[in-house]
Amino acid sequence: MKPIRTEDGRPFRTDRTSRARSQGQAMLEYLVVSAVLVFALFVPIKDEASTDKPRTAVEVVVHNFQVAYERMSFSLSIPE
């Protein structure tokens, strides 16, 4: 059985091949965006709070959570 062709001689794409191509493209876009995001989280950045060495975004976020938790626990421990 011969493949169906368009007027200019190219093979006609069915919905199945178009869907497979778009799913493949979506997966590639997801991988690229995820890789860039992970890379951005672990690249050392200059932080105004730390003068000794640059820290990653993950280290900055973890440090800020620790400080916030210490302040919250201190305020809860103050007697009324």
Q: Could you list the residue range(s) of the whole structural domain that residue 36 is in?
A: 13-42
pLDDT band, residue 29 (cuts 50/70/90)? very high
**Residue of higher predicted confidence among 5 and 51:** 5
Give the global pTM: 0.54
The verdict on 52 and 35 lying in the same domain is no
Q: Please indicate, yes or no, if residue 76 is contained in any of the structural domains.
A: yes
Q: Is the pLDDT of residue 9 over 70?
A: yes
Per-residue exposure over 33-50, b if at least 16 CB sit within 10 Å of its own CB, e if not: eeeeeeeeeeeeeebeee
The verdict on 53 and 37 lying in the same domain is no
Alpha carbons 67 and 80: distance in angstroms, whole number: 23
Q: Count structural domains, the chain.
A: 2
The verdict on 56 and 28 lying in the same domain is no
Q: Is the pLDDT of residue 4 over 90?
A: no
Which helix H or strand E contains 7, and what residues bound it? none
Residue range 43-70, pLDDT digits in tens: 988 767 666 788 888 988 999 999 999 9
